[in-house]
A and B are shown apart, each in its own frame.
Chain A
Amino acid sequence: MTYEEYLDGKPVVITAALTGGIQGKEAHPDLPETPTEIAEAAAAVEEAGAAVVHLHARRDNGERAFSTERFQEVTDAVRDATEDVIVQHSTGGTAAPDALRAEPLRTDPAPEMASLDMGPMNRGRRLTSENTRDTINGLHTEMRERGIKPELEVFNNGHLNEAFRIFDDLDEPPYLNLIFGPGTLAPPSPANLQRMVDQLPASGEFNVIGFGPHQLPLTTQSLILGGHVRVGLEDNSYLRKGELATNEALVARAVRIANELGRPIASPAQARDMLGVESRR
Chain B
Amino acid sequence: MACPHLEYRESDGDRAFDTARAFCTVADEFVQPVHADICNERYGLDPESDCEIFREHAGLDWDE
Contact = CB atoms under 8 A, between A and B. Distances in A.
A109 to B, nearest CB: 27
Contacts, number: 60
Main secondary structure of the interface of B (DSSP, over half): mixed
A68 interface: no
Contacts of B21: 24-26, 61-62
Contacts of A97: 43
Nearest to A22: B34
A95 B43 CA distance: 6
A83 interface: no
Contact of A25 (B17, B40, B43): B17
Interface string A117-158: 000000111110000000000000000000000000000000
B33 A24 contact: yes
A124 B52 CA distance: 9
9 contacts: A23-B32, A26-B29, A60-B19, A61-B8, A61-B19, A62-B19, A64-B36, A64-B37, A126-B52
Given A61-B20, A96-B43, 20 more contacts: A22-B34, A23-B34, A24-B32, A24-B33, A25-B21, A26-B21, A27-B32, A58-B33, A60-B19, A61-B19, A61-B21, A62-B21, A63-B22, A63-B36, A64-B34, A95-B42, A126-B49, A126-B51, A126-B52, A127-B38
User: What are the 5 A-B residue pairs with the smallest beta carbon separation, nearest first?
Assistant: A26-B30, A126-B50, A95-B43, A24-B33, A63-B33
